[in-house]
Chain A
Amino acid sequence: MQKFLKNILHSIKESTQMTQVVQDKSDLILSYPVHLRNQRSGFRWLLLLSIIFNSCTPKMFRDLKSAENIAGSKATELFRSGMKESLVYKTIVHFRDKEFSSLTYVNAVNDSVFKIVLLTTFGNTLLEAEISREKFIVNNVISYLDKRPILKLFESDWRLLLEGNFSNATPLLFSESKEQAVFDYGNKRKHHLFYYSTANKSVTGIESYKGKNKKVIVKVDSFSDSRPEKFSIDHPSMKLAFNFSLLKKVSNETGE
């Protein structure tokens, strides 16, 4: 398992470094104007302008209207408020051609604070964390998971899933049809699309964009009794995916 996690860590770092390289290049190009003024190169100006435009909000996310009157404020909540029990998910981590089975506990302390615990199938604790709008607190983590990139990925994935719960802002309406409405949270280059089924009255998927690139894809395959029963988080660029299947609900009062 440690080797499995090492490979994941390497892949996360690789993915982060690639983004860094691109950012560095754009920084270099953005520093061109001083030289370009002297060179009076129209071509380079055009190149610069196209880069500037590309670094702003992609066209598909521009000029969206507020979704205030389209759906209730709960439409983008994957885990509905007022959750009285802990949810236990069987969690399979897929990385390239390998997979690892584990368990995930999700517990709502209140409507905007969640506790998440990751366990091995045999029951030993891997990670205990608390996430809210402002904070991400790791209360306990096993040494080989205690790496900044892994914890950051864990946080960003859960922040994405819980954005509908955490966000105070009204989402924008990306698109609307009889069957579904698509809501957009984000600004400039980062956007999160929430697909809401009007028939099932639940979130069916989430897509996280950086620019025009889809970075994270969440699919909700089954939603019942106000809880997601089966969902997955896919990081295509890292060949990393997490599949969650609800095993049971544990009452917070009785412990069963």
Chain B
Amino acid sequence: MSPFRYLFIFLFMVFPALVFAQEGKKAMTDTIAFKKGLEQFSKVTNSIQSDFIQEKKLKMLNDKVTSKGLLYFKKENKLRWEYAEPYSYIIALNNGKVMLKDEGKVTTYDANANKLFLELNDILVTCINGNIFQSKKFSFRFFENEKNNIAELTPVNSAMKNFIAKIILYFDKTDFTVSKVEMVEPSQNTTMILFRNKKLNAEIPEKYFTLN
């Protein structure tokens, strides 16, 4: 199972919504080959480290704000988002615990104590046991362009639709890694995250997933 599936699941929990750059895409010709390739990539990938640039576009203000930081993922379900700009902020997910670090203060949430995190856990389990592309929580459409395989996820559940209109994942055709995520909110505000300088299977210390 692709680690990047965990990543986009996490993304959908915290970045509701997205719109799609429709230019230059066409229906994917071989979705089976794409899914198999992704599974193979997942088998040989134990960790991912990447820089990210996040752009939030607000329709109402005609503005955008850029955030930057580092992302760390380690199998099976350890994740760390480390925002460096516009201010330092870390969120780490580790074995059912979600930890936030803001201005030196660490807050830990028990995933069972929060419906949102329960949902996240549920999807993680689905990922471990099955295939996210078979999830009944989303409807899926597959596209491609010259450089990317593109998966468009639309939530089926009405509660989730309140937060997210669409999530679009751009997988690099050369190595199956996610290079871009776009999220569209029902208000048409969008969040785009670009991943750069990806390192696969680099050693990531365990302490990165425990905040104190």
Closest to B107 in A: A99
Residues of A within 8 A of B56 (CB): 119, 123
**B68-93 vs A, Cβ < 8 Å mask (1 yes, 0 no):** 00000000000000010011010100
Complex Cα distance, B67 from A90, in Å, reads 13
Residues of A within 8 A of B16 (CB): 124
Complex Cα distance, B66 from A103, in Å, reads 13
Listed stretches A41-49, A135-143, A161-169, A178-186; interface member: A135-143
Closest to A144 in B: B162
**B191 to A143, Cβ gap below 8 A?**
no
**A143 to B162, Cβ gap below 8 A?**
yes
Contacts A2-B115, A88-B86, A117-B61 hold; do A122 and B14 have CB atoms under 8 A apart?
yes
A71: interface (CB < 8 Å): no
Contacts A88-B86, A90-B87, A247-B86 hold; do A120 and B14 have CB atoms under 8 A apart?
yes
Question: A252's contact among B14, B54, B63, B66, by CB below 8 Å, is which?
Answer: B63
Residues of B within 8 A of A125 (CB): 17, 58, 185, 187, 189
Determine chain B's interface SS by DSSP, over half rule: mixed
Complex Cα distance, B83 from A142, in Å, reads 24
Contacts A124-B185, A128-B187, A247-B87 hold; do A255 and B63 have CB atoms under 8 A apart?
yes
B64: interface (CB < 8 Å): yes
Complex Cα distance, B16 from A139, in Å, reads 17
Complex Cα distance, B64 from A72, in Å, reads 35
Question: B191's contact among A1, A105, A123, A247, by CB below 8 Å, is which?
Answer: A123
Contacts A124-B15, A247-B87 hold; do A105 and B67 have CB atoms under 8 A apart?
no
**A128 to B60, Cβ gap below 8 A?**
yes
Complex Cα distance, B115 from A101, in Å, reads 19
Closest to B113 in A: A3
**B89 to A86, Cβ gap below 8 A?**
no
Distance in Å: Cβ of A89 to nearest Cβ of chain B: 10
B169-204 contacts to A, CB under 8 A, are 183, 185-187, 189, 191
Q: Which of B58, B114, B115, B187 has the most CB of A within 10 A?
A: B58
A107: interface (CB < 8 Å): yes
Contacts A124-B14, A125-B189 hold; do A256 and B64 have CB atoms under 8 A apart?
yes
**A140 to B60, Cβ gap below 8 A?**
yes
A2-23 contacts to B, CB under 8 A, are 2-3
Complex Cα distance, B85 from A88, in Å, reads 13
**B58 to A88, Cβ gap below 8 A?**
no
**B163 to A139, Cβ gap below 8 A?**
no
A248: interface (CB < 8 Å): yes
Contacts A124-B163, A124-B191, A125-B185 hold; do A117 and B60 have CB atoms under 8 A apart?
yes
Question: A105's contact among B15, B61, B100, B114, by CB below 8 Å, is which?
Answer: B61
B29-55 contacts to A, CB under 8 A, are 54
B65: interface (CB < 8 Å): yes
Distance in Å: Cβ of A79 to nearest Cβ of chain B: 15
B22: interface (CB < 8 Å): no
**A255 to B189, Cβ gap below 8 A?**
no
Q: Which of A115, A140, A256 has the most CB of B within 10 A?
A: A140
Contacts A1-B116, A123-B15, A143-B162 hold; do A250 and B63 have CB atoms under 8 A apart?
yes
Closest to B67 in A: A123
Residues of A within 8 A of B129 (CB): none
**A252 to B62, Cβ gap below 8 A?**
yes
Distance in Å: Cβ of B121 to nearest Cβ of chain A: 16
B102: interface (CB < 8 Å): yes
**B89 to A101, Cβ gap below 8 A?**
yes
Distance in Å: Cβ of B81 to nearest Cβ of chain A: 8
5 contacts between A and B (CB under 8 A): A124-B17, A125-B58, A139-B187, A250-B63, A255-B62
Sorted from nearest, which 10 A-B pairs have the closest CB atoms? A122-B14, A140-B187, A247-B86, A124-B16, A123-B56, A255-B64, A123-B191, A128-B60, A125-B189, A107-B61
A→B interface (CB under 8 Å):
1-3, 86, 88, 90, 92, 101, 103, 105, 107, 115, 117, 119-125, 128, 139-140, 142-143, 247-248, 250, 252, 255-256
* Given contact pairs A121-B89, A143-B162, a sample of 5 additional A-B residue pairs in the complex whose CB atoms are under 8 Å apart: A90-B87, A117-B60, A119-B56, A123-B67, A252-B62
